[in-house]
């Protein structure tokens, strides 16, 4: 299985992962043969990438770290909560709390979760998918930091609700397909305080939840908003959510830009550790991120093209790869696999969109 951009879909390609709508309804079943004519439909509903199976990748299995059902439940719960608030109703936190309980329970039962699968997000429903992802990434970080179940639930509730204040920001600004003016940016920044107010009004939520919404854009160096807090004055929960938030935003396709490769995002986040972020927290999250996810096409320093077939937990930048093409671009007849931990002189030179 490997991930491709929908523009590269060709007649007869096999879909490897079932595609669902935001409501959890099946759009296309795994195993179906795709047609080039689907490309426009994919684009119409905002799907930019899919997983396919082909002869080079059919033995590579990429699993999500939580079940599809739990992911849908989390997305739907936050969507309903946000729709409700947008219509002027009081917040009902119960469905979100239930979803958080399941995420925490599932993740605590996985030993050493490594994230290989990137959630296929539709651009339209970005906020709900993003909120669910931030919750999962925050939970993985919290587990890595030794959090127990009740602490994880507090963290995850705030993570799932972190952007609820966006319900008070005009859609034209939120989904503007271009750079924001300074005035528009000032309006967007208000979502942190709006979120705090919405969550504080709910008597069932603890002050951690509203505090996370208020401070998830604070930065370790004091350059964040709305309070300009510095370092450990920002609660650990918010430092975790801010790392998860930026990581997920950068690895997602947005209306105004294409996603970055994981390896680029990892490099960026390490370089900003202890400036924008708490470096210890960045490190804890990255322990669970596959820098070169399974099924990624890469160019090696030898000039050969390869596909990532396995990861080495302690050496994230040195996976096991299957060699596909020689340096002149000619396909090998037999595909040999090499473990880059045993070939120190060979490095991954580039990540390819496709071959
Ligand atoms: Fe935000």
Mean pLDDT by 10 residues, the chain (355 residues): 88 91 84 91 82 88 87 92 92 95 94 74 75 95 96 98 96 88 96 97 94 98 97 98 95 74 89 91 92 92 95 87 95 93 93 78
Q: Is the peptide bond before 341 cis (omega within 30 degrees of 0)?
A: no
CB 326 within 8 A of CB 304: yes
C-alpha of residue 192 to centroid of ligand 1, in Å? 6
CB 251 within 8 A of CB 263: no
What per-residue confidence (pLDDT) applies to 242? 97
Domains for the chain: give ranges and CATH numbers. Answer: 2-53 (3.90.105.10), 68-286 (1.10.3210.10), 297-352 (no CATH)
Sheet holding 297-300, edge to edge: 337-339, 320-325, 305-310, 297-300, 348-352
C-alpha of residue 38 to centroid of ligand 1, in Å? 33
Report the phi/psi class of residue 146: left, alpha or beta, with left for phi > 0 and alpha for psi in -120 to 50.
left
Q: Looking at 166, 168, 200, 232, which residue is catalytic?
A: 166
C-alpha of residue 80 to centroid of ligand 1, in Å? 18
The radius of gyration of the chain from alpha carbons, rounded to an integer in Å, stands at: 21
C-alpha of residue 108 to centroid of ligand 1, in Å? 26
Please say if 102 is a catalytic residue. no
Tokens of 343: 């070939």
Q: Which residues have beta carbons under 5 A from ligand 1 (an ion)?
A: 163
**Residue with token string 């979120």:** 195
What single DSSP character describes residue 40?
H
Burial (0-12, 13-18, 19+ Cβ within 10 Å), 272: middle
What per-residue confidence (pLDDT) applies to 122? 61
pTM: 0.90
For 105-140, write each residue's pLDDT tens digit: 999 998 777 887 776 656 567 888 899 999 999 999
Contacts from 268-276 at CB under 8 Å and sequence distance 24+? 269/243, 274/220, 274/221, 275/219, 275/220, 275/221, 276/219, 276/220, 276/221, 276/223, 276/224, 276/246
**Residue with token string 């969507």:** 79
Helix (H) or strand (E) holding 322: strand 320-325
Q: Give the separation between CA 282 and CA 316, rounded to whole angstroms.
A: 15
The contacts of residue 37 (CB under 8 Å, 6+ apart) are none
Report the phi/psi class of residue 303: left, alpha or beta, with left for phi > 0 and alpha for psi in -120 to 50.
left
C-alpha of residue 10 to centroid of ligand 1, in Å? 37
User: What phi and psi values does residue 196 have, to the nearest 5 degrees?
Assistant: -60, -45
- How big is the CA angle at 245 (ends 188 and 349), to the nearest 5 degrees? 120
For residue 262, the SS3 value is helix
For residue 19, the SS3 value is strand
What per-residue confidence (pLDDT) applies to 65? 87
Tokens of 115: 């994230």
What per-residue confidence (pLDDT) applies to 121? 59
C-alpha of residue 43 to centroid of ligand 1, in Å? 26
Q: Give the separation between CA 210 and CA 335, rounded to whole angstroms.
A: 53
C-alpha of residue 142 to centroid of ligand 1, in Å? 19
């Amino acid at each position: 299985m490997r991930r491709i951009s929908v523009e590269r879909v060709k007649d007869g390609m096999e879909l490897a992962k079932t595609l669902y709508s935001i409501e959890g309804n099946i759009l296309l079943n795994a195993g179906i043969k795709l047609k080039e004519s689907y490309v426009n439909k994919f684009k119409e509903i905002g799907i930019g990438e899919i997983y396919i199976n082909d002869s080079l990748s059919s033995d590579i299995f990429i699993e999500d770290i939580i079940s599809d059902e739990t992911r849908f439940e989390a997305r739907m719960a936050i969507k309903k909560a946000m729709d409700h608030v947008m219509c002027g109703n009081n917040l009902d936190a119960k469905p979100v709390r239930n979803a958080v309980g399941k995420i925490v329970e599932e993740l605590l039962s996985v030993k050493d979760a490594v994230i290989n699968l990137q959630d296929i997000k539709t651009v339209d429903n970005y906020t709900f998918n993003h909120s669910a992802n931030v919750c999962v990434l925050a939970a993985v970080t919290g587990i890595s930091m030794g959090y127990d179940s009740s602490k994880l639930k507090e963290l995850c509730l705030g993570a799932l609700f972190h952007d609820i204040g966006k319900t008070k920001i005009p859609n034209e600004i939120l989904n503007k397909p271009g750079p924001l003016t300074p005035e528009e940016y000032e309006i967007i920044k208000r979502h942190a305080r709006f979120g705090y107010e919405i969550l504080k009004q709910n008597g069932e939520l603890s002050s951690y939840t509203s505090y996370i919404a208020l401070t998830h854009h604070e930065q370790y160096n004091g350059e964040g908003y709305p309070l300009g807090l510095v370092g450990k004055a920002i609660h650990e929960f918010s430092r975790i959510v801010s790392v998860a938030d930026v990581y997920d935003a950068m690895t997602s396709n947005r209306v105004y830009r294409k996603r970055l490769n994981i390896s680029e995002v990892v490099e960026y986040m390490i370089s900003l550790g202890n400036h924008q972020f708490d470096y210890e927290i960045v490190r804890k999250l990255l322990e669970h991120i596959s820098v070169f996810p399974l099924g990624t096409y890469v160019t090696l320093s030898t000039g050969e093209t390869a596909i990532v077939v396995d990861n080495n937990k302690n050496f994230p930048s040195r996976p096991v790869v299957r060699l596909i093409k020689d340096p002149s671009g000619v396909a090998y007849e037999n595909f040999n696999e090499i473990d880059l931990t045993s070939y120190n002189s060979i490095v991954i030179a580039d990540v390819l969109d496709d071959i």
